[in-house]
Homo-oligomer: A and B are copies of this chain.
Amino acid sequence: MHITDYSWTEFQNLSMPEKVISLSRNDGTPFHTLFAQQFNRANLDRLCRLATEIRTIAKTRYGMTFLRSLLAHKRAMLYFTQPSSRTFLSFLSACQITGLNVGEVRDTATSSEYKGESREDSIRTFSSYFDLIIMRSQEKGLAEHMAWTLSNSERPIPIINAGSGKDQHPTQALLDIYTLKRSFERRGGLRDKTVMFVGDLARGRTVRSLSQLLINYENIRQVFVAPAPLQIGQDVLNTLTSHGVQWEVTSDMHARLPDVDAVYMTRMQDEWDSTKGESAKIDTSRFKIGVEEMRLCKPDAIIMHPLPRRDEISTEVDHDPRAMYWRQMRNGMWIRAALIASTFDCAGRIDEFHRENL
């Protein structure tokens, strides 16, 4: 069943697997990209391969010229009413790499300037001029509603969710998977690795999404390290158990550092504190990575962080070759370029160019 077969109310009440199917094209790839759950092993492998092809092709002028010709006839709207320079610039660059022209709507005041116009009408009007909407908004479910609205209109153009409140941020999970895969390329891939999550695991959507996507890979062991009040939710652990994934919960980071292949650091999410200053009372001193901690790590371990960081990772670590967080940012650009190319069915042409030229 396709999204156009449901009323808006019916669509909202679908289970996640049903939603995933309703958003897919015939070949199983997403038309609208709204949820991390839309990525299965096949999609992930395909997108990561595409991202690597794009990254390789982009190394030469000739290759960049090819890439920029792919979507030079299309335009994307970056509808970013929730500010985020990081994600914005990453998507903007991904658009530029694939040749897409962009228009921006960033100011909520401007975009809802005419009192009395519904948000849906604004977006639908703006979408008249574009072929893709990349949307970041504080409003829970807005991307979903616009996807339904546009799919049921005369101009069904795709939507990519670039983050919606606490809710979903599917391309962040994508870039994390891509970074892990890329880092372990010469070590047999992701399988059989141990991934350690450190920090505020209770409130970060990033960790939850990544933990779930890792289920797609064979024999990944997941270690959750946090002060007790910030530990990972029991629901995540239950999901892992039900899929036969090995996991471990601990507050002793240092004891586990020598064994893990990837350390995924996160910052305190104190913007979600229910009372101000609540998080500041938690002792997080043993959940930081500095030069000392790097000595404990394997020589081929990698350190990741979705950034921005505070003091979870010392700037002295930045020059360590195992520090992967800057490259992780850049991976975000490549995987987003791959997602955009895939959304417009360009994967085949990229494969072909890569095969013939590299």
Contact = CB atoms under 8 A, between A and B. Distances in A.
A65 interface: yes
Contact of A116 (B68, B103, B107, B308): B308
Q: How many chain copies?
A: 3
Contact of A86 (B96, B125, B267, B333): B125
Given A116-B308, A129-B89, A327-B154, A72 B83 contact: no
Interface string A67-88: 0100011010100000111100
A326 B154 contact: yes
A318 B113 CA distance: 22
Contact of A125 (B124, B154, B155, B308): B308
Contacts of A309: 117, 121
Interface residues of A, number: 53
A131 B327 CA distance: 14
A330 B92 contact: no
A153 to B, nearest CB: 7
A242 interface: no
8 contacts: A61-B73, A68-B73, A77-B89, A85-B110, A85-B126, A116-B310, A121-B307, A128-B329
Interface of A: 58, 61, 64-65, 68, 72-73, 75, 77, 83-86, 89-90, 92-93, 96, 101, 103, 105, 107, 109-111, 113-114, 116-117, 121-122, 124-126, 128-130, 152-155, 267, 307-310, 318-319, 326-327, 329-330, 333
